[in-house]
Amino acid sequence: MCTESRAPAAEAAGQGDDLALLGLLQLVSPALPIGAFAWSQGLESAFELDWVRDEASLYAWLSGVLDDGLSRCELPVLARQQAAFAVQDGEAVAYWDAWLAASRETRELAEEDQRLGAALTRLLRSLELLPAASELPDQAGYVTLFAWLAQVRGVPPRQALLGFAWSWLENQLAVACKALPLGHTAAQRLIERLRPELVVAVDRALSFDDHELGPLLPGLALASAQHETQYSRLFRS
């Protein structure tokens, strides 16, 4: 009798987990129409400067950005934003949205977060999923909206961070395949090398205190700053 009484609840919980997973896959899909493919996050400029030229140097670049960038900036802020949404702490949401905007070291990096956030806002509005205006800061950035949708979809915070990191990696490798003589097999080799590092980056992101946050990427900032004057460009950053 006990088993029978628990079955519907267990089934509902399982369905909720499945829907959360599908919601996360939708959110990190390259097919999500927000224009993420148009941005290289300074990587195209690194190609032009010959800092990144092949599979080995691309691995070093991506590993460094993951370790000193995402794990100290976007990922821990994403975790804090999702926790704030869970308890409806609008003050914390606004604080971390502004903190992340202030951490962008170039115009192009700031513009990317703003434009992706605006595109995701339009998409959510068209899907009738946009929250009340009081739940979001004005012109909320992409990370904030990602956190809100992950929370609404019931995605556990750790999985949300892994999904965000995976989406970043896929986008960076797509940039490299377009702008470098890098084949898709090489991209898959890089994924195999970097998958464990995504897990480590999430672990680190969840361990940092507030005062330990902030990107440590002077090379990326310099590359991004020079990108806007690059003679020929495929990407917007």
162 within some domain? yes
SS (H, E, C) the chain: CHHHHHHHHHHHHHHHHHHHHHHHHHHHCCCCCCCHHHCCCCHHHHHHCCCCCCHHHHHHHHHHHHHHCHHHCHHHHHHHHHHHHHCCCHHHHHHHHHHHHHHCCCHHHHHHHHHHHHHHHHHHHHCCCCCCHHHCCCCCCHHHHHHHHHHHCCCCHHHHHHHHHHHHHHHHHHHHHHHCCCCHHHHHHHHHHHHHHHHHHHHHHHHCCHHHCCCCCHHHHHHHHHHCCCCCCCCCC
Which tens digits make up the pLDDT trace of 116-132? 889 999 998 898 888 77
User: What pLDDT does residue 219 have?
Assistant: 84
21 within some domain? no
73, two tokens? 């900036």
2 within some domain? no
Range of the domain at 117: 39-227
62 within some domain? yes
Which tens digits make up the pLDDT trace of 78-96? 999 999 999 999 999 999 9
177-181 average pLDDT score: 85
| Number of domains within the chain | 1
59 within some domain? yes
* Range scoring the smallest mean pLDDT among 1-10, 25-34, 123-132: 1-10
165 within some domain? yes
If pLDDT is split at 50, 70 and 90, which confidence band does 45 have?
A: confident
- pTM recorded for the entire structure: 0.89
Q: Is the pLDDT of residue 227 over 60?
A: yes
130-141 average pLDDT score: 81
Distances (CA, A) of 11 to 20, 152, 236: 14, 20, 46
171-176 average pLDDT score: 90
CATH number at residue 120: 1.10.4190.10
Q: Is the pLDDT of residue 75 over 60?
A: yes
- Residue with the bigger pLDDT between 39 and 70: it is 70
Q: Is the pLDDT of residue 2 over 60?
A: no
6 within some domain? no
> Which of 28, 237, 32 minimizes the C-alpha distance to 122?
32
Which tens digits make up the pLDDT trace of 194-214? 999 999 999 999 999 999 999
If pLDDT is split at 50, 70 and 90, which confidence band does 178 have?
A: confident
User: What pLDDT does residue 15 have?
Assistant: 65
If pLDDT is split at 50, 70 and 90, which confidence band does 135 have?
A: confident
96 within some domain? yes
